Amino acid sequence: MPSMMPPPGTLLGRIKSSVQYLERRLPQLQDPYQVALVTYALLEAGSVDAEVGFNKLDVMKREKEGMVYWSPEPISSAEVLYQNQRPFTLPRLPNKYDSVAVEATAYALLVYVRYNGVIIDQIVKWLNSMRTTDQAFMASQDTLVATQALIEYSFRTHVRDITNMKVTVESSSNPGTIHSMALKSDNLAESRQVPVSNLTFF
């Protein structure tokens, strides 16, 4: 009986060999980034071993303040300063593993979305907390993967279908200054800025 395996020198043969290599290596991996990336690759290839990676990711996850992420080391959050009972998020100092954590968490989100994982909202919350002031992340690579993961999340959870809200921004340094904006499905990708004056820096 002829073998069902593709010939080794063909593209399909090379893909099959690569998948088998990743399947063999997965149980030995200890780095969250490697586990997330390999699990996503196996999921894309249709490998049943992707579930092994999913379970491994679940054990490796880090939880903080209602958020979930993956990183070799804990990532500190931005401090929140309260003045007059209002929270102000202070700039966050960079961590050594910020970029790796964002990319690993983005790959993990892509995996969890496919498995309908119950913690996907907590993963999205952490990713969004890591955005910089221009809405990107730390570098080009992690921004690309995180954006892909967030788009996949929004399509699979139908978040984009129910987006229609009005946002009001008030500045405590300018009493009476109020800016309102509408967020709808046709303008979600637009960047908006609100001018604020009379700022006090700490």
Asked if residue 3 is part of any domain, the answer here is no
In a domain, 194, yes or no: no
Q: Which amino acid is at 70?
A: W
> For residue 171, is it within any domain?
no
Partners of residue 62 on adjacent β-strands: 69
In a domain, 121, yes or no: yes
- In this prediction, residue 89 has a pLDDT band, given cuts at 50, 70 and 90, of confident
**CATH number of the domain residue 56 falls in:** 1.50.10.20
State residue 107 phi and psi, 5-degree precision: -65, -40
Asked whether residue 105 is domain-assigned, the answer is yes
179 in a structural domain: no
Q: What is the pLDDT of residues 39-81, one digit of tens each?
A: 999 999 999 999 999 999 999 999 998 999 999 999 887 777 8
- Domain extent at residue 98: 13-162
Q: Which residues pair with 89 in a beta bridge?
A: 80
Q: What is the CA radius of gyration of the chain?
A: 21
Runs of H (alpha helix) within 61-189 = 98-114, 120-129, 140-156
Interatomic CA distance for residues 151 and 127, integer angstroms: 12
Burial of 110 (C-beta count, 10 Å sphere; 0-12/13-18/19+): buried
Q: For the whole model, what pTM was predicted?
A: 0.74
Rounded distance between C-alpha atoms, residue 103 and residue 138, angstroms = 10
Tell me the pLDDT tens digit for each residue of 131-189: 766 666 778 888 888 888 988 888 877 665 556 777 777 766 667 778 888 877 777 66
Domain count within the chain: 1
Mapped onto helix, strand or coil, the DSSP state of residue 84 is coil
